[in-house]
Amino acid sequence: MNVAIIGRLENYEEETPFKKRYTINKSYIEIFDMLNILIIPVLSIVNIEKIENMCDALILPGSSIGVDPKYYNDLPFPGKEYKYDEYKLDKQVIDVFIKAKKPILGICGGMQTLNVYFGGDLNQNVLNHKLLDNSKHKAKITTDSFLYSVYQKEEIEINSLHRQAVRKLANNFKVTAISEDGIIEAIENGNIIGVQWHPEALNDIEFFDKFFKTFVK
C-alpha cells in the first residue's frame, strides 16, 4: 500500500534559508513501517495527479502555520500573521484525491484544513488545549462512527496540541468526538476522517490500521 502525506514547513520564521525545510514527523514513518505502508511525500503542486495515481489514501498532518482565515472570510487573531500559505497545496491535493474518491485522513491542523475546504470555519484561539509532554484529556465518541469501530467505547483519552479548532462544521460532516469542554475533536464524512488530536504521537497503530482496512479497497 502507498500513502501520500503532505510535508510541513518548519523553521519558516528563520531568516537563514537553509534552515527552512519540509518535514514529515518521524512517528508517521515508524508506524507506517510497522504496517508495511510506503509513504510518498507531497511537497509541490507539480504532478499531483501522478502521485494520486500511485497512492491509496492521503494524510493531511498537523501544521504549525494554520489555515489563513481569509479562506473562511475572517480576520486573523490579533498578533497572528500568515506569511506562508500551506492551504494552497493542501487544497489542490485534496481536489485530486476527492475526484478519485480516495480516503483522506486529516490530523490536527489537517482536520482544520478539511473543515475549511468543505465550507466550515475555525475558532482561532482555543484555550487550554495546548497540553505539554504526555498530558491527556477525555473525549466522548458517538457510537455511529468510524472512531467507535476502532476503540469500541464511548470515551477515550487523547493528547492535545492546538490553538485553532473547528467552529462552524463543514457541509455534510458529522461530529463524532467532542472534548469535556465542548471542543470538536473529530469529524467524519464517509471515507474522509478528521481528528484533532495526534494519534501518531500516541503510537496508535490500531487507529491507522483500522483506517486503511476500512476505507482502502
Q: Given 52, 55, 86, 108, which residue is catalytic?
A: 108
Would you call 108 a catalytic residue per the annotation? yes
- pLDDT value at position 129? 66
Active-site residue among 52, 185, 188, 200?
A: 200
Assign residue 101 a region: left if phi > 0, alpha if psi is -120 to 50, beta otherwise?
A: left
Q: In this predicted structure, what is the pLDDT of residue 80? A: 76
Collect all residues with Cβ–Cβ distance below 8 Å to 204 and sequence separation of at least 6.
none
Q: What is the CATH number of the domain that holds 60?
A: 3.40.50.880
Contact status, residue 76 vs residue 22, Cβ threshold 8 Å? no
pLDDT for residue 131 is more than 70:
no
Full domain range(s) for residue 22: 2-215
Q: How far is the CA of 49 from the CAs of 52, 54, 57, 85, 112, in angstroms? A: 5, 9, 13, 21, 23
- Per residue in 61-106, pLDDT (tens digit) is 998 888 999 999 998 888 777 778 899 999 999 999 999 999 999 9
Q: Looking at the 3D structure of the chain, how many domains does it have?
A: 1
Q: Which three cell numbers stand for residue 194?
A: 478528521
Residue type, position 183, single letter: I
Residues composing the chain: 217
| Nearest partner of 196 among 163, 151, 170, judged by Cα | 163
Residue 197, pLDDT > 80, answer yes
Q: Quote the pLDDT of residue 132.
A: 59
User: Which alpha helices (H) appear in 36-143, and where do they start and end?
Assistant: 48-54, 87-99, 109-117
Q: Look up the pTM and report it.
A: 0.93
Reading the block at residue 100, the C-alpha cell is 478519485
Report the candidate in 58, 60, 56 with the shortest Cα–Cα distance to residue 8.
Answer: 60
CB 158, CB 108: distance < 8 Å: no
Whether residue 119 contacts residue 166, with contact meaning beta carbons closer than 8 Å, is answered with no
**Quick one: pLDDT at residue 203?**
94
